[in-house]
Amino acid sequence: MNWNKELKPLFWMVGAFILLYYLPIGTQRFDNAVMEAFHLVKWYAREHVLLCLVPAFFIAGAIGVFVSQDSVMRYLGPRANKVLAYGVASVSGTILAVCSCTVLPLFSGIYTMGAGLGPATAFLYSGPAINVLAIILTARILGLELGVARAVGAIVFAVIIGLLMHWIFRHEKKKEHDGPVQLDESKAGRPLWQTVVYFFLMIAILVFANWGKPEETEGFWRTVYSLKWILTAFSALGLAVVLGLWFNISWLRLGLAALPVILLGLFTPSSPVLLFAIGSVGLAVVTAVDKGEAGDWFAASWDFAKKILPLLLMGVFIAGMLLGRVGHEGIVPSEWVNRAVGGNSLFANFFASIAGAFMYFATLTEVPILQGLIGSGMGKGPALALLLAGPALSLPSMLVLRSVMGTKKTFVFVMLVVIMATITGVVFGYFF
């Protein structure tokens, strides 16, 4: 027997046995942490997967099928104009109300299509970090200085992190893209404006379906919120028309897919999430049975879903077990966190960055969480550090990133975010 070959499985078996043997079942904190993990996964599955990830998977699949690699290389590739590439990537989050997990399929789509590592990671950071709604909410609830610092810091972070990632791994990317690049506009051969409309409608569905409830009771943001499902429905209707006119999908199939949504909408208008889920299933069925490019679209979307979703759910479960939900305890006591982020010391800012990097924040939830922490004594420096590190990272997103761009790049990306958030928090806390 080759013991050198068998040592690794023996190590894992012994480790798993010791873990199970001493599993602290019956202790209140452990049992509560397990329940918190299931509570968080349940909430994530019910409130986040359908409205955020499903549209994101379809958008990512569409990037892979309907956007040519040459087009991605033109605007975001290693040889693209740096000002244009980093400018587009660093402000992309202003139109996407997404969290660190929802942005992953979109990042995977542009990265696998050949986008340069720098612009791709700039987009990866900016997607969840520069959410206009979150920045406005931060300014209104946590103060104007934190809101402005978050907006400016997030844009600057995206550019710097992207440039550093490009520089650190410059030799690796240079070898991958030394060949000549032949540029064209579209894989499908349709006019560019039609592709733009198609993507705009999908992004509109993603944005409006996840539009958060504002604090004010009137005004523009409140009006949009009150009309969010109507705007989502019109965007979905527009997408159906586009699929029928430009993608040659049978109008009969589109009508049959829409019929359950219309009928249920007439009788149960108070269940928009259910209608959204049924509409998503209908879209999946219509595209899956298509023999043309719509079928390719579904296949690419499904490929992203089966690779990313299991890792996300596992990561959310682990995060819930360790840290619990807002107002609930996991294995790590929340009072430890509250004590660790008081004041403006280097350790407080570093701990806030690390805690934010591993915690999972759904879109906009970081603001009420910080409101409670600031009320418990958290300094403004650590608060900004958590705002800059938290929404852009999470334990689930790290697990997925490792499968997309490898352990080394993922580790460097996480460390850059944590270190820059720590330094920025210390400087901000010193002046404010």
What tokens does 103 get?
């942005």
The two three-digit tokens of residue 230, written as one number: 């109507």
**Cβ contacts of 425 within 8 Å, gap of 6 or more:** 344, 349, 352, 353, 381, 382, 383, 384, 385, 386, 388
User: Strand, helix or coil at 378?
Assistant: strand
Domain residue spans in the chain?
Answer: 27-174+181-249+290-431
Instruction: List all residues 6 or more positions away from 198 whose beta carbon is below 8 Å from its beta carbon.
Output: 62, 66, 239, 242, 246
Where is mean pLDDT largest: 51-55, 82-86, 238-242, 333-337?
238-242
Q: What is the DSSP letter of 48?
A: I
Q: What is the pLDDT of residue 164?
A: 92
- Strand-pairing partners, residue 378, are 342, 343
At residue 413, the pLDDT reads: 93
> What is the amino acid identity at position 26?
G
| Whole-number pLDDT of residue 399 | 85
Per the DSSP assignment, residues forming a β-bridge with 342 are 378
Report pLDDT for 194: 87
- Which of 45-59, 130-144, 159-173 has the lowest average pLDDT? 130-144
> Residue 178 pLDDT more than 60?
no
Q: Hey, how many other C-beta atoms are within 10 angstroms of the C-beta on 241?
A: 14
Look-up of token digits 């990313």: 308
Task: Using the predicted structure, report yes or no on whether residue 372 has a pLDDT greater than 70.
Answer: no
**What pLDDT does 350 receive?**
92
Return the pLDDT at 422: 93
For 73, 95, 109, 158, the CA distances from 115, given in Å and listed in that order, are: 6, 20, 9, 15
Averaged pLDDT, 190-211: 86
The pLDDT assigned to 287 comes to 92
> Is the pLDDT assigned to residue 382 strictly greater than 70?
yes
Distance of CA 105 to the CA centre of its chain: 8
pLDDT at 27: 86
Read off the tokens for 121. Answer: 């990671």
The pLDDT value recorded for residue 82 is: 76
Averaged pLDDT, 154-176: 80
Alpha helices in 247-345 (DSSP H): 251-267, 272-288, 293-323, 334-340
pLDDT digits (tens, 9 = 90+) for 287-302: 999 888 889 999 988 9
206 — pLDDT class (breaks 50, 70, 90): confident
pLDDT category of residue 183 using cuts at 50, 70 and 90 = very low
Both tokens of residue 290? 């298509």
Identify the residue whose tokens are 């761009």: 405
Secondary structure of 383-419 in HEC code, one letter for each residue: HHHHHHHCCCCCHHHHHHHHHHHCHHHHHHHHHHHHH
Residues paired with residue 10 on neighbouring β-strands, in sequence order: none
pLDDT for position 51? 83
- Asked whether residue 423 carries a pLDDT value surpassing 60, the answer given is yes
Q: Is the pLDDT of residue 188 over 60?
A: no
Nearest partner of 394 among 124, 61, 31, judged by Cα: 124
Beta carbons within 10 angstroms of residue 377's beta carbon: 11
Q: Which of 101-115, 125-139, 234-248 has the lowest mean pLDDT?
A: 125-139
**Cut 0.75: pTM above it:** no
Exposed/middle/buried for 279, CB within 10 Å: 0-12, 13-18, 19+? Answer: buried
For the segment 378-385, the average pLDDT, to the nearest whole number, is 87
pLDDT one-digit tens code per residue, 230-245: 999 999 999 999 999 9
The answer to whether 410 and 378 are in contact (CB under 8 A) is no
Residue 115: the pLDDT is: 73
Average pLDDT of the residues in 184-192: 60
Q: Quickly state the pLDDT bin for 113 (edges 50, 70, 90).
A: confident
**Residues 257-261: contacts with CB within 8 Å, 24+ apart?**
257/282, 257/283, 257/285, 257/286, 258/282
Is the pLDDT at 182 greater than 50? The verdict is no
What per-residue confidence (pLDDT) applies to 175?
Answer: 46
Q: Are 119 and 85 in contact (CB under 8 A)?
A: yes
- Average pLDDT of the chain is 80
Whether the predicted pLDDT of 401 surpasses 60: yes
b/e map 16-33, b = 16+ CB within 10 Å: eeeeeeeeeeeeeeeebb
Q: Give the residue with greater pLDDT, 238 vs 85.
A: 238
Higher pLDDT, 363 or 334: 334
Closest CA to 377 of 418, 417, 334, 420: 334
